[in-house]
Structure 1
């Protein structure tokens, strides 16, 4: 499967969440692979949650989104300039936030966060059932 990717730099503002989600879904739709609707919807939710966290917790004005398809997963990465890694906490029934990372962990095959030289990277991998080429795309099989 050919590697496809989206790399996007966004302002650390609430409007970045909608922009990131739409751009990711549009990019995935343009790739020459057919992904299950559940994978695309899950990707949209994961992008929204990770970008929202980055916007809320970044120390400077930019966040970046990277989406790429691997052989068996759709990998989503969001980077920001805050060195503080996300902490899992148990929100009580009255909390208005704190559930996003639980959603990401429940929806993704794997997820995590790691420091970078300029902040952190939060990532998630969504399992991709054997993706098929888009209709009209020729596939050559070895003889």
Structure 2
């Protein structure tokens, strides 16, 4: 029998789309980071990988924040393809400008996004597309 949390997850995916099935387009606004986090956590729960939720929530927020702040796009896309042993989260935007991993000092209040992605993910990168790019990170998906 589904729990209330399971029902909320299903409702979120029904309402916004399921990024594990196809790309979900979101409006390029700061508040869309919340929707991206909800989608990400909902998919992880459906995959029985809730132990990855905290890290994925933080990292998807950073990628969405970069797409919203630095690309000037009207929308961005969120996908979550899964391969055996790995969870991948992708944020696609129409800009071909590459994100920069900057050195971070202890008292810096900005510029930490890709630093966090670099430190907390198992791997990450950027794929240039004919029109835009996909910035992604991957985490090992071991069942617990």
Q: Do both share a fold (TM > 0.5)? A: yes
In structure 1, the partner of 2:48 is: 34
In structure 2, the partner of 1:21 is: 37
Q: Does 1:48 align with 2:61?
A: yes
Question: Take 1:125 and 1:91, find their aligned partners in 2: how far apart are those partners?
Answer: 22
- TM-score (norm: length of structure 2): 0.78
Q: Deviations over 1:12-51 (max 9, x none)?
A: 110111111012112322x2x32152x1211111111111
In structure 1, the partner of 2:28 is: 12
Residues 1-143 of structure 1 mapped to structure 2, 5 A cutoff: 5-6=20-21, 7-29=23-45, 31=46, 33-37=47-51, 39-129=52-142, 131=143
RMSD across aligned positions (CA): 1.8
Q: Is the 8 A contact 1:54 1:63 kept in 2?
A: yes
Stretches of 4+ moved more than 2 A in 1? 91-96
Unaligned runs of 5+ in 2: 1-18
Q: Higher helix share goes to which structure?
A: 2
Unaligned runs of 5+ in 1: 133-143
- TM-score (norm: length of structure 1): 0.79
Indicate the structure (1 or 2) with the bigger Cα radius of gyration. Answer: 1
